[in-house]
Amino acid sequence: MSAPDGAVALVTGGTRGIGAAIATRLRADGWGVATLGRSGGDVRADVGDPAAVDAAFAEIEARMGPILVLVNNAGERRDQLAIRMSSEQWDAVIGTNLTGSFNCTHRALGGMLRARWGRIVNISSVVAEHGNPGQANYAAAKAGLLGLTRTVAREMARKGVTCNAVTPGVIETDMTTDVADTLVDAVPAGRVGRPAEVAAAVAFLCSEDAAYVNGATLAVDGGMGA
Q: Catalytic residue numbers?
A: 138
Q: Measure the CA–CA gap between 45 and 23, rounded to whole angstroms.
A: 17
CB 10 within 8 A of CB 69: yes
SS3 196: helix
Helical H runs in the chain? 17-28, 50-63, 87-94, 100-115, 127-130, 136-156, 180-183, 195-206
Task: For residue 82, give the DSSP letter.
Answer: T
